[in-house]
Amino acid sequence: MYRQGDVLIMPVAEDSVPARALEDAGEPRDGRGRLVLALGEVTGHAHAVQGPGRLVRERGEFGPMLLHLPQGGRVVHEEHAAIPLPKGWFRVIRQREYVPGSVARVVAD
Amino acid sequence: MTTPTDALTGSVTDPEAAAAGAADAPAGLTKLTPLSTDDWRAVAAATGAADRAAAEAGVRLAYRAAGLAEPRRVLWAESPCAAVALLQTSENLGRSVREEVRTGPWEAERARAHEELGPAGYAALWSATGGRLWEPTRALTDRIRAGIVEELGDDPKLRLLLLDAVLGQHDAAWLAALAGRGTALDGLAEVARHASWWWPYEETVVICERPVELHRDEAGRLDRGDGPALAFPDGFALYAWRGMPVPADFLAGLADLTPDRIRAEENAELRRVMLEFYGYDRYLADSGAEPVHRDETGVLWRIALDGDEDVAMVEVVNSTAEPDGTFRTYWLRVPPGTRTAREGVAWTFGVTAQEYMPVRQT
């Protein structure tokens, strides 16, 4: 399990990945060829992965998302140190905050 | 004003003229180059005076593409609210042609894209383009509609007028997905690039100026503590703090908040805004709150409020140092039943305290 700011990257066993996700074409890469795990709407800062891999969005605006890195990779962000990741599948989770009487909202750093 | 109708029609229907038009766009119409999703994001957030000539040229193009005569009258309004007020009292507008001008071409383009790309390809196109812009623009237009209803009073006729609107710059999401693939949506895209909402009727079109102020937070929600988060030139405005609608005079009172004033506020949502504005950390210090639990993930705090659930918060220290070498501390509100700091931090990521075990954090 790895954490970069408001994003948690949790290893998941390949045999527990839904078949749907194994076949999914995955999210498109950004203009710089990166897989964007989370984007800061105003600063444009992003938690992103370079290199081979796929990001599969399961449902909802902010995920959950599954990340597949067949050769491992590195998650980078403008304000946080990069984190090397081993190969495999990961669940990408955005941090949220408790909001009384409404749905929890996502934290964006 | 005079219209270079022939030149415009030529550039759309005649391939040679279209090629020439790409290099030398007719007066009043910008070059119809497809925009990227980022460009459309900027269109949706654009503020400042509309380019009226370009927007009107776009309107005429959209009418002609729909096989309609150009509108006889173009009226400009300073805000969507002013436009609705104008429409409520206007006569001889003719019928609404929104269906022909906007919905028909949009549905045809969507069907064409769907057929060409297949369901998976279309889903990929949407998620790479419009899907990224959908939530923030939809939230904004919902708020504007609500603001108009609040300003002008709720009645069925007004609701129908709101349904007749074409959202101009706020149609950016679906334009990002579908515009630029052919010429069918060029007129709509052109208006969107240069103006805000518009109302197409057979005889008359009403077009709105863009906002003069738009302030959003990192998550794209309307957010401003010292003035309107969204304002149009005529003063029609929306006030919000981190997305939550607040009354205009509420913000003025935020500057001299006290812990007592916050405790006394009966509206739980406004009290939350007050707490956020005042700063949880400052409130914790001023109200003499004591930490409830401390572990390697952070510190758990609790504030009891009369007639409301407790405010439970985890205090977390950023793992990456700021440029000046200090570590930024931040507070996240967690469910009131939280018992330990670890449980609270784990909750913010939707995992259990036992599962939350980062081997590396930055």
> What are the structural domain ranges in chain A?
2-106
Instruction: Report strand pairing: A96-97 vs B360-361.
Output: unpaired
Burial class (CB in 10 A: 0-12, 13-18, 19+), A68: buried
pLDDT 10s per residue in chain B (362 long)?
333 333 333 233 333 333 333 334 444 555 566 788 889 999 999 999 999 999 999 999 999 999 999 999 999 999 999 999 999 998 888 999 999 999 999 999 999 999 999 998 999 899 889 988 998 899 899 999 999 999 999 889 999 999 999 999 999 999 999 998 878 899 999 999 999 999 999 999 999 999 999 999 877 889 888 899 999 999 999 999 888 888 888 888 887 888 888 877 877 778 878 888 888 778 887 877 778 999 989 899 988 777 778 888 898 877 666 666 666 677 888 999 999 999 999 999 999 999 998 888 88
> In this structure, are residues B2 and B60 in contact, taking their beta carbons and an 8 Å threshold?
no
CB distance A100–B350 less than 8 Å? no
Q: How far apart, in whole angstroms, are the C-alpha atoms of residue B83 and residue B151?
A: 12
CB contact (8 A) between residue A80 and residue B217: no
- d(Cα B337, Cα B180) in Å, to the nearest integer? 52
- Give me the helix-helix angle, B130-152 and B37-44, nearest 10°: 10
What strand order describes the sheet that includes B230-231? B213-214, B230-231, B237-238
Name every residue whose Cβ is closer than 8 Å to that of residue B122 and which is 6 or more positions away in sequence.
Answer: B113, B114
3-class state of residue B224 by DSSP: coil
Between B130-152 and B80-89, two packed helices, what is the crossing angle to 10 degrees?
50
Dihedral sign computed on CA atoms, order B354, B355, B358, B362: negative
Q: How far is A2 from chain B (nearest CA, A)?
A: 5
Task: Supply the pLDDT for residue B284.
Answer: 80
ipTM above 0.90, yes or no: no
Q: Which of A27, A61, A83 sits opposite B135 (nearest CB)?
A: A61
Chain B: residue nearest A94 by CA?
B349
What pLDDT is stored for residue A26 in this prediction?
Answer: 84
Contact B362 A28 (CB under 8 A): no
Whole-angstrom Cα Rg for chain B: 25
| Residue count of chain B | 362
